[in-house]
Amino acid sequence: MAADTDPVTGTTRSDHTADAADGDGALHSELVTYDEEPDRRTVFPAAADDDDLLTHWITANDGSFVDLRDLR
């Protein structure tokens, strides 16, 4: 997992890649942390090209996501 902090805004970006549970491929997620706002995570296919990235993603507050293994 990688993390970078923007010295101007104070936001921190980190990323993570995991295998999709249904075998369709890996998912990549990127977390942006904020000082004064909830952290936000975006999930998208790891193999998505630039065109797919325009429409194949979902973003929500980080606490909204759960590990699929915890729900099985």
Question: pTM for the complete prediction?
Answer: 0.66
Does residue 70 lie in a domain region? no
Does residue 45 lie in a domain region? yes
Q: Which residues sit opposite 58 in a β-bridge? A: 43
Q: How many domains does the chain have?
A: 1
**Cα–Cα distance for residue pair 44/46, rounded to 1 Å:** 6
Listed range (33-37, 41-45, 49-53, 65-69) with the worst mean pLDDT = 65-69
Q: Calculate mean pLDDT across residues 36-52.
A: 91
Print the domain residue range for 44: 2-63
Which of 5, 3, 1, 39 shows the shortest CA–CA distance to 18? 1
Q: Which helix (H) or strand (E) holds 71?
A: helix 68-71
**Angle (nearest 5°) at CA 57 between 55 and 62:** 155
Does residue 6 lie in a domain region? yes
Does residue 24 lie in a domain region? yes
Q: What is the pLDDT of residue 51?
A: 94
Does residue 68 lie in a domain region? no
Dig out the tokens for 26 from the structure: 């890996």
